[in-house]
Amino acid sequence: MKIIITKDYQELSEKAAEIIIDLVKNNPSCTLGLATGSSPIGLYKNLIKAYEDGVISFKDVKSYNLDEYCELPKQHRESYYSFMHANLFDHIDIKEENTHLPSSEGSDLQANCKAYNKMLNSTVVDLQLLGIGANGHIGFNEPGTPFKNETSVIKLTDKTREDNKRFFDGDINQVPKYAITMGIKNILNAKSILLVANGKNKAEAIAKLVSGEVTEDLPASALNLHDNVTIIVDEEAASLIEK
Ligand code: GLP
């Protein structure tokens, strides 16, 4: 696992973007696994800038997102579909048909999981981008999720709903209780993994992750089982790493 510590969020976002920009330059038809949450927003801004400056094009890039809330219509402002459009897709030349998110619409969520999983298993993700929850979740794989799990519906923990209520007028009752997420197994199938984390709130999870212990209590610790992982953290998120 390669660990890069940056002085602040801006540097983190630039460094993480550089990795993706290089990948897209070298392989213009690459497949990206994308993430939501506040952590990758700065990185997405840098990707948009690289596109606007003519450094890269996304016209042949394909993307698969990690997860999506249940109980929210696709067009809800806090759906991950809306998030991806607002923070990346609407500002670059990626084709709508090349972007994929799990769907939580319709009455048969199991069928939706199966369909998404089938797509994932018939493609090779060149780089999977990840944030990390304060409790160590990746995607929406909460502590205790078996590493062998593939795409499934999961119940969000109170901690995650509490952390994410900031996007829902600070009201936990508006935060969905369930989500569809790629499983850890899907995530580990990617050729390379890039995790970004900033702020003190993430310091404990990052320290546990880099300690090397592999445990289902900390979903992100599964990354220790992959041989091409880069984590980029700012000084605050790195502050509890044992020297
Ligand atoms: C959500 C997402 C994760 C994300 C995490 C951290 O729960 N499902 O993919 O990594 O939150 O979010 P943030 O970056 O806003 O701290």
Atom of ligand 1 nearest to the CA of 131: 10
Q: Do 198 and 237 contact (CB within 8 A), yes or no?
A: yes
pLDDT of residue 31: 98
- Which of the residues 68, 142, 150, 234 is marked catalytic? 142
Amino acid code (one letter) for 93: D
Mean pLDDT within 153-178: 95
Residue 237 has pLDDT above 80, yes or no: yes
Residues 95-119 as b/e (b if ≥16 CB within 10 A, e otherwise) read: eeebbbbbbbeeeebeebbeebbee
Domains in the chain, please, with CATH?
Answer: 2-189+199-234 (3.40.50.1360)
Residue nearest to atom 12 of ligand 1 (CA): 37
Q: Do 149 and 184 contact (CB within 8 A), yes or no?
A: yes
| Cβ 87 under 6 angstroms from ligand 1 | no
Chain segment 109-122, per-residue pLDDT in tens: 999 999 999 999 99
User: For residue 152, which phi and psi values (nearest 5 degrees)?
Assistant: -155, 170
Binned at pLDDT 50, 70 and 90, residue 97 comes out as very high
Binned at pLDDT 50, 70 and 90, residue 218 comes out as very high
Binned at pLDDT 50, 70 and 90, residue 135 comes out as very high
Surface-to-core class of residue 227, CB atoms within 10 Å of its CB (0-12 exposed, 13-18 middle, 19+ buried): exposed
Give, in order, the Cα–Cα distances in Å from 171 to each of 37, 157, 166, 176: 17, 15, 7, 11
